[in-house]
């Protein structure tokens, strides 16, 4: 028989236990560890908001309830009623003294992810279960915080969220990485970027952003490339390259500082050296592409003017600084068709890549866009892109054109860097990679 207090006990989440010190509460969760000490049982429960140790004494429980402890397996789903007690040594600062327990399900005894080391291949095949472990939960909580901070920053600075389509008639970032679909009678592709549509939206709203999944059919098998990733892309009318850099450094430093403040516990779980993140404050250093080539040559890397940089070059460049590094003014030949040439030096474009420190690579790519109709038409031809698919985009240069700029930031790249997780597969719940579509 439950006492009246037990019957009336409120259901609470583990992260609210501190508000219920000395009270009887109900917690719903999953069993992570169980130690059976004869007349004493120690359970560690997880409920999504945190973990808590719950302790049961044989003398406090009915024989039927007590008997259930014998069969408990990892991941069994339980409802526990008990008294919250302050305990300095407990992970969340509180412990629960169990008075009653209902077992919703005894999980099958062969839960594949035991508390031992597993290979990454095995864990990836069991991603649907791996998500439950401490480190994966910490990374994905930080991901949610990064997304919230990104949106807050833009919402609070006058950027209007305008969603862009995912099925698109043309390439934005070059044709080599398109996922093609066969439905509309003419080829349609999964979006590589919402940018071209953002450029239409700014003439209606001034400052906009889109945020959504992005698809790249890359055949690259690197730790920095996913076939499906999430990108936030701000775009602003009348903004030129200097304004763009200011926007990016304000945005990125706000996100990093917000995560440091709000997700300290998760960063600790990940054993992240947060002193490195504390430095991430605007302004960020800036070098030109030409200076970057010189720096790379000085460091023994054989880079020719005109080449785009890969991961190795980015790591060498970024390692010279304690915060993200802007590299500006790349050769036009290394970049996308829409980038505005430098009027002083048309062989380079008014663009910037933002490179994270500690070897995490490019986190943002952006530029000023071509606003002149004739020049844009010429570039589309030079890139052998189908002019008819871009007629609407050219219209934007006919009816009220203006200088404008924007950038895209890959959420997974930023999360990887903030968490200190080098491989992007752990920064998204269900990664899509070369040869990887299950689960």
CA gap 281, 334 in Å, rounded: 29
CB of 109 to ligand 4AD, least distance (A): 38
CB of 218 to ligand 4AD, least distance (A): 6
Of the candidates 217, 256, 438, the one whose C-alpha atom is nearest the C-alpha of residue 364 is 256
CB of 295 to Mg ion, least distance (A): 19
Closer residue to ligand 4AD in complex, CB, 96/428: 428
Strands (E), 15-171: 24-37, 40-46, 51-57, 77-86, 94-105, 160-161, 167-168
172 binds ligand 4AD (CB under 6 A): yes
Helices and strands (DSSP H and E) totals, the chain: 14, 18
365 binds Mg ion (CB under 5 A): yes
How many residues at the interface with Mg ion, by CB under 5 A? 1
Buried b (16+ CB within 10 A) or exposed e, 190-219: bbbbbbbbbbbbbeebbbbbbbeebbbeee
Whole-angstrom CA distances from 436 to 56, 190, 311 are: 44, 18, 22
413 binds ligand 4AD (CB under 6 A): yes
Of these, 216, 263, 329, 379, which contacts ligand 4AD (CB under 6 A)? 216
Closer residue to Mg ion in complex, CB, 24/367: 367
Of the candidates 313, 242, 246, 309, the one whose C-alpha atom is nearest the C-alpha of residue 283 is 246
CB of 362 to Mg ion, least distance (A): 5
How many residues at the interface with ligand 4AD, by CB under 6 A? 24
Span interacting with Mg ion, options 111-119, 126-134, 277-285, 361-369, rule CB under 5 A: 361-369
Contacts of 62 (CB under 8 A, 6+ apart): none
**Contact, 243 vs 350, CB < 8 A?**
no
**H-only helix segments in 46-176:** 63-68, 120-125, 127-130, 134-156
Contacts of 377 (CB under 8 A, 6+ apart): 387, 394
Of the candidates 39, 58, 43, 47, the one whose C-alpha atom is nearest the C-alpha of residue 99 is 58
CB of 347 to Mg ion, least distance (A): 19
Closer residue to ligand 4AD in complex, CB, 357/365: 365
410 binds ligand 4AD (CB under 6 A): yes
Span interacting with ligand 4AD, options 13-21, 123-131, 221-229, 389-397, rule CB under 6 A: 221-229
211 binds ligand 4AD (CB under 6 A): no
Closer residue to Mg ion in complex, CB, 365/406: 365
Letters for 343-372 (x = contact with ligand 4AD by CB under 6 A, - = none) are: -------------------xxxxx------
Helix 311-318 vs helix 289-298: crossing angle, to nearest 10:
90
Closer residue to Mg ion in complex, CB, 174/341: 174
431 binds Mg ion (CB under 5 A): no
Site residues, Mg ion (CB under 5 A): 365
Residues interacting with ligand 4AD, by CB under 6 A? 172-173, 193, 195, 216, 218, 225-226, 229, 231, 233, 362-366, 406-410, 412-413, 424
């Amino acid at each position: 028989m439950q006492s009246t207090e037990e019957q009336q006990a409120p259901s609470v989440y583990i992260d609210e236990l501190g508000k219920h010190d000395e009270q009887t509460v109900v917690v719903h969760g999953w069993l992570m560890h169980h130690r059976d000490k004869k007349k004493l049982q120690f359970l560690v429960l997880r409920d999504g908001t945190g973990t808590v140790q719950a302790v049961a004494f044989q003398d406090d429980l009915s024989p039927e309830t007590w008997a259930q402890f014998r069969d408990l397996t990892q991941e069994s789903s339980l409802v526990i009623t008990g008294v919250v007690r302050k305990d300095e040594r407990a992970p969340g600062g509180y412990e629960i003294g169990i008075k009653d327990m209902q077992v919703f399900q005894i999980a099958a005894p062969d839960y594949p992810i035991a508390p031992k080391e597993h290979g990454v291949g095995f864990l990836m095949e069991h991603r649907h279960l791996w998500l439950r472990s401490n480190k994966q939960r910490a990374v994905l909580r930080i991901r949610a915080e990064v997304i919230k901070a990104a949106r807050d920053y833009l919402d609070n600075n006058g950027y209007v969220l305008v969603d862009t389509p995912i099925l698109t008639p043309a390439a934005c970032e070059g044709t080599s990485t398109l996922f093609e679909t066969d439905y509309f009678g003419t080829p349609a592709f999964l979006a590589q970027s919402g940018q071209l549509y953002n450029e239409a939206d700014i003439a209606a709203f001034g400052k906009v952003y889109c945020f959504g999944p992005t698809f790249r059919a890359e055949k690259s098998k690197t730790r920095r490339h996913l076939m499906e990733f999430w990108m936030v892309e701000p775009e602003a009318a009348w903004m030129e390259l200097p304004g763009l850099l200011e926007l990016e450094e304000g945005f990125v430093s706000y996100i990093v500082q917000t995560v440091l403040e709000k997700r300290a516990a998760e960063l600790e779980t990940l054993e992240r050296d947060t002193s490195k993140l504390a430095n991430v404050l605007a302004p960020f250093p800036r070098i030109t592409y030409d200076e970057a080539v010189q720096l790379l040559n000085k460091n023994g890397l054989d880079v020719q003017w005109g080449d785009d940089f890969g991961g190795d070059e980015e790591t060498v460049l970024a390692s010279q600084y304690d915060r993200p590094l802007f590299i500006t003014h790349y050769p036009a030949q290394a970049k996308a068709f829409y980038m505005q040439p430098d009027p002083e030096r048309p062989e380079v474009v008014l663009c910037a890549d933002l490179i994270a420190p500690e070897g995490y690579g490019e986190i943002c790519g952006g530029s000023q866009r071509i606003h002149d109709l004739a020049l844009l038409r010429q570039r589309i031809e030079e890139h052998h892109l189908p002019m008819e698919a871009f007629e609407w985009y050219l219209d934007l240069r006919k009816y009220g054109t203006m200088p404008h700029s924007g950038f895209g930031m890959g959420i997974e790249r930023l999360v990887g860097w903030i968490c200190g997780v080098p491989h992007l597969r752990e920064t998204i719940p269900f990664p899509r990679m070369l040869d990887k579509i299950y689960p």
